[in-house]
Structure 1
């Protein structure tokens, strides 16, 4: 194998490695977004329950 072919192969390997690293970061970002959304949904559900409880208490006091 000639020297130029070795350099091309090394560059191709480097490019693939960078691409794979980029895909891993993208996957991690998507996972974190989903986890964050689930946390927000849980917070919303808890707040809705608190509002419902407060409304129920207000109705009872009337």
Structure 2
């Protein structure tokens, strides 16, 4: 997944209700870096992008029935 696709997935998951600070805590990516990445102000280093991609692939947001 490239950085743009990863950013879109991050935005979608945050919009679905998962807190960006919680994502930062779980991935050990600084909240400031994650926020700037989400806003399109910077790219993540490859190691952080890999950690974020792996974490987001495991996230399941409950949907209403």
Give the TM-score range, shorter chain.
Answer: under 0.3
More helix by share: 1
TM-score by length of 1: 0.25
Q: TM-score, normalization: structure 2? A: 0.25
